[in-house]
Structure 1
Amino acid sequence: MSGGMYNVLFLCRANSARSIIAEAILKKEGHDHFFGFSAGSHPRGEIHPYTAEFLKSLDHDPSEFSSKAMEVYSRKDEIKFDFVFTVCDTMDNEDCPIFPGSPMTAHWGVPDPAAVAGTEAEKRLAFADTYRMLRNRISIFTNLPFQSLDRLSLQHKLDEIGQTSLREDV
């Protein structure tokens, strides 16, 4: 693949936490080469309050993000996605959406912080952990040598990123 500008869509079920967090990270750290978007197969219709609060604490503007259905993008001809990453956790028997078209895809599943039960501190820690895990994976992704990778090699790298240990720091 040649270097350039890439559109990246992050998908999960509710589009209220994980995919929104991933979109925010890529928008901030995409080095003007990556544009982040997010959507859900069954969108909640609003960003989880802890997501908005956590993003704001890291100088992201939560008003830039909204919970929406993936059909919003699959019907739009003006946005061509180069990459689509699912971030839902299939270990919790969660259905991951499938996006039509021919973008490169990979599964980068992380646990749903919105599903965590416990104290306020435990719930907030789950959102911080989700941010850290996604930021690690996105950092690896944005630093890949796109110019020197063919499509098959790039797909292998994308799959490897999804297998990155959830506890591993970059």
Structure 2
Amino acid sequence: MNVLFLCTGNSCRSLISEAVFNHLAPAGWHAISAGSQPTGKLNDKALALLASKGISTEGYYSKSWDDLPATPDIVVTVCVCAAGETCPAYLGPVLRTHWGVEDPSHVAGSEDEINAAFEQAYRILRARIEAFLALALDELKGDRVRLKTELDRIGTMQG
């Protein structure tokens, strides 16, 4: 099963999600990330944060949803529509859910405030991914309605 974490720039939140998911996922589950308007560069602070947690980002890069190496089964958007971000709408016969997380790369302030924003985004995304992976995935793969309900519920968790 392929899970696509999608946002606009594919440099920060979707990257963190992809890396954490692949770090924790059982065999047979794989995450990819992409953006509707990729920046073409991964966020240095996101890369440093993941490295500090012992999570590999080797081979990851900022890419367009037009260049996916695999067709996703599940698409998770991580942008924050309420903050005025345009959330990309992935078209295709996939299960879609929304896990909005504030973009830490847009935080202005002291180094400590910026680092805290990255930690908060990481904490929220990791908690949601852990909850996702704690589901009875083999059972839910065959029940898209229940799986979507669970994923939508997880998207409201604050870490």
Question: TM-score, normalized by length of structure 1?
Answer: 0.87
Residue 158 of structure 1: how far off its partner (Å): 1.1
Cα deviation, 1:85-125, whole Å, max 9, x if unaligned, reads 00001121101111121111100000000010100111111
Matched-pair identity in %: 39
What residue number does 2:37 align with?
A: 42
Select which of 2, 27, 36 maps to 1:7: 2
The runs of at least 4 aligned residues of structure 1 exceeding 6 Å deviation read none
Residue 152 of structure 1: how far off its partner (Å): 1.1
What residue number does 1:152 align with?
A: 145
Select which of 58, 62, 65 maps to 2:60: 65
Q: Which 10-residue stretch deviates more, 155-164 or 145-154?
A: 145-154
Q: Please, what is the CA RMSD of the aligned residues?
A: 1.3
Determine helix, strand or coil for the equivalent of 1:38. Answer: strand
Question: TM-score, normalized by length of structure 2?
Answer: 0.93
What residue number does 2:92 align with?
A: 101
Select which of 25, 29, 45 maps to 2:24: 29
Tell me, yes or no, if the aligned pair for 2:4 and 2:75 is still in contact at 8 Å. yes
- Is it true that 1:16 corresponds to 2:7 in the alignment? no
Q: Name stretches of at least 5 consecutive residues in structure 1 with no aligned partner.
A: 1-5
Q: Across the two proteins, how many residue pairs are aligned to each other? A: 157
For 1:22, give the aligned amino acid. Answer: S
What residue number does 2:118 align with?
A: 127
What residue number does 2:155 align with?
A: 162
Q: Name stretches of at least 5 consecutive residues in structure 2 with no aligned partner.
A: none
